[in-house]
Structure 1
Amino acid sequence: MPRPKSEFDDLYPCDFYTPTELLESGQMYTVYEIARLLQDLEADAELEPGEEEILLDWAIPWLLSHGDDLVIAEPPTDADPGFYGLREDGDLPGES
């Protein structure tokens, strides 16, 4: 259910990192690692139970809004998440 803005003590700009600010060239990351990086945590930071789901609420829209700047790789197994990285020249077939 939506809530009135007046119910919140503070409002902040919705500024997110760009892919080049967040991700290292030549590296691939899971959505879970990206979620941590978006919160200025280490990609392998330990989280309290339930925190990961909250962080994913930030990461999934970020991935969708920056899809043109990213590439995705199939997960190693069906039980693993996919991997995302910066889209660079020559990453995709037919690109040079």
Structure 2
Amino acid sequence: MPRPKSDFDQLYPCDFYEPDELLDDDRMYTVYEIARLLQGVEADAELDRETEDILLDWAIPWVVFNAEDLVVAEPESDEEPGYYGLKTDGER
């Protein structure tokens, strides 16, 4: 159910990192690692499953929105996530 803005103590701008601000151009990241980075957490930080699920709610739309600036690599197995990286000039 929608809530009135007045219910909230503070409202923030909905600004997200640009891919080149978030990702190193020589690295590939899982969506879980991207989720952590978007929240200012180290990519390899240990998080409980519930927190990680919440962070994914932010990361998946970010990946979709920025898809034209990213490259994708297959996972190492069917049980692992794929990898995303910053598209470099040679890959455009």
Shared fold, TM over 0.5: yes
Aligned-residue CA RMSD (Å): 1.2
Q: Hey, what's the Cα distance between the residues in 1 that align with 2:72 and 2:3?
A: 36
Counterpart in the other structure of 1:84: 84
Runs (4 or more) in structure 1 with deviation over 2 Å come to none
Question: Equivalent residues in 2 for 1:11-90 (5 A)?
Answer: 11-90=11-90
Size of the alignment, in residue pairs?
A: 92
Q: Hey, what's the Cα distance between the residues in 1 that align with 2:84 and 2:78?
A: 16
1:78: how far off?
Answer: 1.0
Question: Which has more helix, going by share of residues?
Answer: 2
Residue 50 of structure 1 aligns to a residue whose secondary structure is helix
1:26: how far off?
Answer: 1.3
Q: Hey, what's the Cα distance between the residues in 1 that align with 2:5 and 2:86?
A: 36
TM-score (norm 1): 0.89
Q: Hey, what's the Cα distance between the residues in 2 that align with 1:2 and 1:61?
A: 21
Q: Hey, what's the Cα distance between the residues in 2 that align with 1:48 and 1:81?
A: 17
Structure 1, unpaired ranges of 5+: none
